[in-house]
Amino acid sequence: MPSRRRRQFLQSAAAGTVALAGCTTVQERLGDLQRSSPERRVAPDWQPAPGTWAERGHGPANTNHNPHATPPEREPVVDWRREFDYSSRDGGSFVVAEGRVFVETEYKLLALDASDGQVLWERSAGEAVQLAYVDGRLYQFNQDNPESDIVAWSPDGEEQWRTTIPDQIRDIHEQQGYVFVAGRNRYWTLHADTGAIVRERDDWVRNMATTGEGLYAADGGILIRYEVDGRTLSERWRAKSGYPAVSGHPVVGEERIYVPQHNFLDDGEPVVVYDTAGKKRSGFDGDGTSYLTLTGDGSMVVPTERDGGGLVARRPDGSRRWRADVTGRAEAIAADGMVFGGFPLTALDGESGERLWELDVGGPRRLAAVDSTLYVRTHDSMLVLRA
């Protein structure tokens, strides 16, 4: 048996190795031994199934494009409308899944029947709540509070767990038993079954996107590719745009990653395009940190304030395909060869930019295309458009 002095030396050396490597602490390892392995396992390449609009950008790739939907090509009619007691100051987060529309108002989380808009259940919620649906589970989190809750709900409104994060929650990503929660300058790893915090790291992973081949995070004019390594994220590469900027959510295409950004210099590029190895390929005009839309044929639809404003469709090489005089706050989405956005709500041919129809629905903020239906969120209502 080692002497007392030798045992103290070995313990100090082990602790020093962990600290130098920046790896798992003794306390974290003990916690791993005390907890059971997660039973809930979401595949790295999970994407929304037909009948689903899972988050603000449709799915983890943030394309704002639903490849399964066939929304109205001709002017639709309002099938149902649900008015809310409280408006939403953040545009109104909502997702569509499992025959339900999950929607937040300023103080409530509602589940509506997608067929007729009837309220199925109602729960209390804070301000500026964001929603995300992942493989049979609904997540609710707050992006503004200095201390924020992330709540996991079943589609039937049963609270599965609730965890308080001592920071603003900027984004979440679930994979292989763990939920990665991004704060402003660090991230937390939560056990998917219980919500228990199992890791905390100082790496920033704001504005995430993935298709299963790596996890991309953008901010400050920097794009980083991470690999999920069990309970932590391992950096593989980082690329800089060359301009001081505030970055928006990346959009992941087949061979390119598009990063919108608001530059502090007039000569910066509002959209920067990288390949999957982190090499900058091109850049083109856009409107700051607005959400981008990647159509099914590979065109990127970008809101712009230049050249008269409106929506501009760019080919993969950055050249202009078309421009449409579409205004308003609704973020553009794409489905079935069409692009929808603006106020009044406008439908465009995705190949030519030709107007297909316009409809005044009272100031749309966010849109979703699911099956043959367009879902429209205004500041104080939810409505459904069908042919």
DSSP code string of 286-310: --TTPPPEE-TTS-EEEEESSTT-E
42: Cα separation from own chain's centroid: 16
One digit per residue, pLDDT tens: the chain, 387 residues? 444 444 333 333 333 333 333 477 778 777 777 788 999 999 999 999 999 999 999 999 999 999 999 999 999 999 999 998 766 666 689 999 999 999 998 788 999 999 999 999 999 887 778 999 999 999 999 877 788 999 999 999 999 999 999 999 999 999 999 999 999 889 999 999 999 999 999 988 889 999 998 999 998 889 999 999 999 999 999 999 877 778 889 999 988 999 988 877 666 678 899 999 999 988 887 665 568 999 999 899 988 766 556 898 998 888 889 999 988 666 899 999 999 998 899 999 999 999 999 999 987 889 999 999 999 999 889 999 999
Beta bridge partners of 182: 171, 187
The answer to whether the beta carbons of residues 344 and 328 sit under 8 Å apart is yes
What percent of the residues of the chain are helix, what percent strand, and what percent coil, each to the nearest 5? 5, 45, 50
- Rounded to 5°, angle at Cα 101 from 67 and 125: 130
Nearest to 221 by CA among 174, 259, 171: 259
The answer to whether the beta carbons of residues 42 and 134 sit under 8 Å apart is yes
d(CA 48, CA 348): 24
Q: How far is CA 205 from CA 62, 183, 234, 298, in A?
A: 15, 8, 11, 26
Nearest to 167 by CA among 189, 191, 142: 142
- 3 state DSSP class of 311: strand
- Torsion-angle region of 261 (φ positive above 0: left; ψ -120 to 50: alpha; else: beta): beta
Do you know the residue count of the chain?
A: 387
d(CA 61, CA 209): 5
Q: Are strands 108-113 and 100-104 parallel, antiparallel or unpaired?
A: antiparallel
The answer to whether the beta carbons of residues 307 and 314 sit under 8 Å apart is no
Nearest to 38 by CA among 142, 200, 152: 152
Nearest to 337 by CA among 299, 291, 375, 373: 299
